[in-house]
Structure 1
Amino acid sequence: MSELDEALYEQVTELSQEGNLLFDDGDLDGADAKFDAAWELLPEPKTQWEAALWLLAAKADVSFSRGKYADAVATLMRAAMCPDGLENPFIHLRLGQSYFELGDKVRAGNELTMAYMAAGADIFEDEDPKYLDYLKSILQPPVGQDTL
């Protein structure tokens, strides 16, 4: 994996941070525009860069927040192909949630399990409890524990 030059990295990071602030304020269109602008700065092939992972995750988060679950899955699958994407618990969490919302409970269970295995129950802390409840219904607690 190559690294972006420092000036470009700073531009991408700044746009991404601006997008995160807009997202947190509920301005999904503004956030998406900032993430797109940062994405456009990445040299080809875009998915080779570490920044691609968090930009795609952020774009998927916007899709998820809009209820566009199929779009979120497509973007997250692309993110999973970025450096460290397959090991990223957030990618698995949002994939699991998106599959859950699309009615694909098998894939949802697999992805939510991977998120849980990588990050523990804490990753579900700020999420709708239905996702952890679903996981509890399909996954046995660790040995010596009563619950996940």
Structure 2
Amino acid sequence: MELQDELYERVVIICSQGDDLVNSFDLDNAIQMYLKALDLVPEPKHNWEASTWIYIALGDTCYMNKDYNASKDFLFNAINCPDGIENPFIMLRLGETLYELGDVNKAKDYLLRAYILEGYSIFENEEEKYFDVIKSEI
């Protein structure tokens, strides 16, 4: 489902502000902006396309902030939103997050899914250790 135009515009503006904060490495405030945007999305949040990319932004920013537990939670929420299960970036970042949490076997599942959906190119800008987890499987 898509948000009404006016609400969608408000969410986009707030997320843009969050993106600007990420770009200036103000990750804590970026997370707050994304949470503010998510609060505008009606319940149930998992029904809305906007929730997919807001949860991705939250998961990615928490990952960059080394808050891997929060990252994992947001990324699992993203999977359950429209088109989330087919999104290779969610699979990649979730695999990396699980790796950092020490759950290498589960990380392998998601990293393999990212590879299947996107190929090696999704790993090109990532640390080699993540691709190494699945290298023997492909």
Percent of pairs identical after alignment? 41
Runs of at least 4 residues off by over 2 Å? none
Q: Compare the two structures and name the one with the higher helix fraction.
A: 2
State the shift of 1:77 in Å: 1.0
Matched position secondary structure for 1:86: helix
Who wins on radius of gyration, i.e. which is larger?
Answer: 1
Matched position secondary structure for 2:85: coil
Q: TM-score of the superposition, structure 2-length normalised?
A: 0.94
Partner of 1:67: 66
State the shift of 1:128 in Å: 1.4
Q: Which amino acid aligns with 2:123?
A: F
Q: Does 1:133 align with 2:120?
A: no
Output one character per residue of 1:4-32: Cα deviation in whole Å (capped at 9) or x when no partner.
11111111111112211211221101211
Partner of 2:21: 22
Q: Which amino acid aligns with 1:139?
A: E
Partner of 1:90: 89
State the shift of 1:37 in Å: 1.3
State the shift of 1:135 in Å: 2.0
Q: 2:2–2:50: 8 Å Cα contact kept in structure 1?
A: no
Q: Does 1:105 align with 2:104?
A: yes
Root mean square deviation, CA, Å: 1.2
Q: Does 1:55 align with 2:19?
A: no
Matched position secondary structure for 2:66: coil
Q: Does 1:33 align with 2:32?
A: yes
Q: TM-score of the superposition, structure 1-length normalised?
A: 0.88
State the shift of 1:120 in Å: 1.2
